[in-house]
Amino acid sequence: MIHTDSPLAARGSALVGLARGTVHGDAMSRTGVAARLTLLALLCGPTPGFAQAPEQAPDYAAVSRISPTVAAVRRAAPSVLNLHSVKTTYDDEPVFGSRKPRKVNGMGTAIVVDPRGYLLTNHHVVDGVESLRATDESGASYVARTLSVDPQHDLALVKIDADNLPVMPLGTSCDLMRGETVIAIGNAFGYEHTVSKGIISQLFRDVEVTETQSYRNLIQTDASINPGNSGGPLINVRGEVIGINVAIRAGAQRIGFAIPIDDAREVLAELMSVERLENRTHGAQFADRKTPSSKQAVVARVDPRSPAGRGGLNRGDVVERVGRTPVEDAADFERALLGVRPGETVTLTVLRDGNRVPVSLSLPGAGRAVAQVPSQTRQIAARTAAARTVEPPPKKATADDAVQRFEARSGCKIERVVATPGERLAEFGYKGGYRVAEVRSGGPADRALIKAGDILLGLHDFSTLIPADFAYILNLAADDDVKMLRCDILRGSDRLYTFLKLDEE
Write out the catalytic residue numbers: 124, 154, 230
CA–chain centroid gap for 260, Å, is 10
Q: What is the residue type of 106? A: G
Three-state SS at 21: coil
Distance CA 327, CA 337 (A): 11
179, 200 Cβ separation under 8 angstroms: yes
**Contacts of 497 by beta carbon, 8 Å cutoff, 6+ apart:** 127, 128, 486, 487, 488, 489
472, 460 Cβ separation under 8 angstroms: no
72, 236 Cβ separation under 8 angstroms: yes
130, 101 Cβ separation under 8 angstroms: no
- DSSP conformational letter for 502: P
Three-state SS at 66: coil
Q: What is the residue type of 23? A: V
Name residue 108's beta-bridge partners: 83
**Contacts of 485 by beta carbon, 8 Å cutoff, 6+ apart:** 459, 460, 473, 477, 499, 500, 501, 502
Q: What is the 3-state secondary structure (H, E, C) of 140-172?
A: CEEEEEEEEEECCCCEEEEEECCCCCCCCCECC
Query: Would strands 118-121 and 155-160 be described as parallel, antiparallel, or unpaired?
Result: antiparallel
**Angle ∠(305,331,289) on CA atoms, nearest 5:** 90
320, 358 Cβ separation under 8 angstroms: no
3-state helix, strand, coil in the chain (%, to 5): 20, 35, 40
Nearest in space to 450 (alpha carbons), one of 486, 412, 424: 412
237, 189 Cβ separation under 8 angstroms: no
Measured from the Cβ of residue 108, the count of other Cβ atoms closer than 10 Å reads 28
Task: Give me the helices (H) in 234-298, please.
Answer: 261-271, 274-278
149, 187 Cβ separation under 8 angstroms: no
